Amino acid sequence: MKLYHNPASPFVRKVRVVAAECGIADQLQLEEVVLTPVNTPDQLASDNPLGKIPALQLDNGQCLYDSRVICEYLDAEFQGDLYPIEGWQRWQVLRLQAMADGLCYAAVLVRYEGFVRPIDKQWSQWIEAQLAKCRRAIAQLEQDCAQYSDQINIGTLSIAIALGYLDFRNPDEAWRDYAPSLASWYAGFSQRASLQQTLPA
Ligand code: GSF
């Protein structure tokens, strides 16, 4: 399977983490792409019309996207057991994943605003509004994290990836100052092999 990837992307990292949790990391052939929303490599655009990564080219010629679809596909195909099948726990876990992905989207938008958009078009209020989303999400996670701190599933893995991305792109965001329980959970959880093997670069 060929995975369009970039080592900085948190959404790609999620796919790699799930592959590692499923024990099939070595089945992913990594195809590195450099892209922005205004610069899409042709091959990626023909495999994923949205021009985004991750995209997973399967051996049957089909291409899967986006990260949530790919992760669920890998989990189903290779028995990752990262998605509770039924009951309220399933919705809690999927909501946690949505929270983590939303945190990543907001942080990626901050990155694009500062790095891709021309300086004369940058809008500080936009950046602040995105960072405010990140901070509200972290405050909520701080309140809730005791409920899931002993779980390993797509929700907790996604949260760890989102916090890792925030540390990577916004090291000045002192989120640990107002989220000490989350920080303590993250310090331990982020030692998992799947997360250590896929640190952003
Ligand atoms: C989001 C992927 C995404 O925004 C998913 O896979 O879950 N809903 C999608 N990827 C970024 C790279 S990143 O910073 O992770 C991307 O491909 N950006 C290029 C673009 O055209 O937006």
CATH number at residue 93: 1.20.1050.10
Do the domain assignments include residue 199?
A: no
Q: What is the pLDDT of residue 61?
A: 95
Predicted structure pTM score: 0.97
- The domain that contains 19 carries what CATH number? 3.40.30.10
42, 108, 170, best to mutate for ligand 1 pocket (most atoms within 8 Å of CB):
108
Percent of the chain clearing pLDDT 90 (strictly above): 98
Do the domain assignments include residue 37?
A: yes
Do the domain assignments include residue 158?
A: yes
Percent of the chain clearing pLDDT 70 (strictly above): 100
Q: Model confidence at 130, in pLDDT bands (50, 70, 90)?
A: very high
Do the domain assignments include residue 200?
A: no
pLDDT digits (tens, 9 = 90+) for 20-61: 999 999 999 999 999 999 999 999 999 999 999 999 999 999
- Residue 153 Cα distances to 28, 159, 183, angstroms: 21, 10, 18
| Residue 130: closest CA among 112, 106, 98, 100 | 106
Q: Model confidence at 80, in pLDDT bands (50, 70, 90)?
A: very high
Q: What is the pLDDT of residue 43?
A: 97
Q: What is the number of the ligand 1 atom nearest to the C-alpha of 40?
A: 21
Q: What is the pLDDT of residue 152?
A: 97
Q: What is the pLDDT of residue 198?
A: 98
Ligand 1: centre distance to CA 166 (Å): 15
Residues 166 and 124 in one domain: yes
Q: Is 66 in the pocket of ligand 1 (CB under 6 A)?
A: yes
Do the domain assignments include residue 14?
A: yes
Q: Is 106 in the pocket of ligand 1 (CB under 6 A)?
A: no
Q: What is the pLDDT of residue 73?
A: 98
Mean pLDDT score of the chain: 97
> Residues for the chain: how many in total?
201
Q: What is the pLDDT of residue 156?
A: 98
Ligand 1: centre distance to CA 187 (Å): 26
Q: What is the pLDDT of residue 63?
A: 98
| Domain extent at residue 29 | 2-77
Residues 187 and 92 in one domain: yes
| Cα 11 from chain centre | 4
Q: Is 53 in the pocket of ligand 1 (CB under 6 A)?
A: yes
Ligand 1: centre distance to CA 33 (Å): 12
Q: What is the pLDDT of residue 154?
A: 98
- Residue 15 Cα distances to 97, 110, 117, 125, 126, angstroms: 13, 22, 28, 32, 29
Which whole number is the average pLDDT over 178-188?
98
Q: Is 102 in the pocket of ligand 1 (CB under 6 A)?
A: no
Q: What is the pLDDT of residue 158?
A: 98
